[in-house]
Amino acid sequence: MFDSREKIAMFIDGANLYATSRALGFDIDYRKLLAAFQKRAYLLRAYYYTALVEDQEYSSIRPLIDWLDYNGYKVVTKPAKEFTDSAGRRKIKGNMDIELTIDALELVDVVDHYVLFSGDGDFRTLVEALQRRGRKVSIVSTIQSQPPMISDELRRQADSFIDLASLQNEVGREQSERPVRKVDPEFDNSHD
């Protein structure tokens, strides 16, 4: 699946990867994740995309963002949009698809193999565009959850599919290492 001579880049849809690992019952150790893909090929870049709620005193994701930024990841953020839905509930939306897509396309001349951590079917068109330029694309998500976290059309389009469950021993955080993290369930854009 990977050739050690390839230049690879990781593109992580943060909310989607978080939801996928939670569905599988484990947390990602991002240091181990970086090391796992550095072993497979020449890792050129590792991007992590997430939206942040700007007006909060403290964001539970801020320590992760800061750690990633200092430890080998290129972190791409934007302010999340807050709105009220038709039922009067406060909702937060933070879709990073366009930012991820543009960054991926800008690297097409230097990256041989893209590793996309998302099951979002909206990325099928990106995968197809990269393949037309002669690039390989691997998708990391899961079919082990109910329902599966990856769209069928994205899985079919990819050159290869890596089930996150198969990486658990290599990139999972031990339960004893797990920090307490509160997440606003309304801020889950993993299925946009």
Dump pLDDT digits (tens) for 133-186.
Answer: 999 999 999 999 999 999 999 999 999 999 999 999 999 987 555 555 444 444
Q: In degrees to the nearest 10, what's the CA dihedral of 158, 163, 168, 171?
A: 0
pLDDT tier for residue 73 given thresholds of 50, 70 and 90: very high
Query: What number is the average pLDDT over the span 63-82?
Result: 92
Who's near 4: CB < 8 A, 6+ residues apart? 40, 41, 42
Q: What percent of the chain has pLDDT over 90?
A: 73
Kindly tell me the sign of the dihedral angle through the C-alpha atoms of 26, 30, 97, 182. positive
Q: How high is the pLDDT of residue 58?
A: 64
Express each pLDDT in 5-29 by its tens digit.
999 999 999 999 999 999 999 999 9
């920090």: which residue's tokens?
179
Domains of the chain: 19-177 (3.40.50.1010)
Checking if the pLDDT of 46 tops 90, the result is yes
pTM of the complete model: 0.86
Residue type, 139: I
Exposed, middle or buried: residue 53 (CB in 10 Å: 0-12, 13-18, 19+)?
Answer: middle
Rounded Cα distance between 8 and 34, Å, is 12
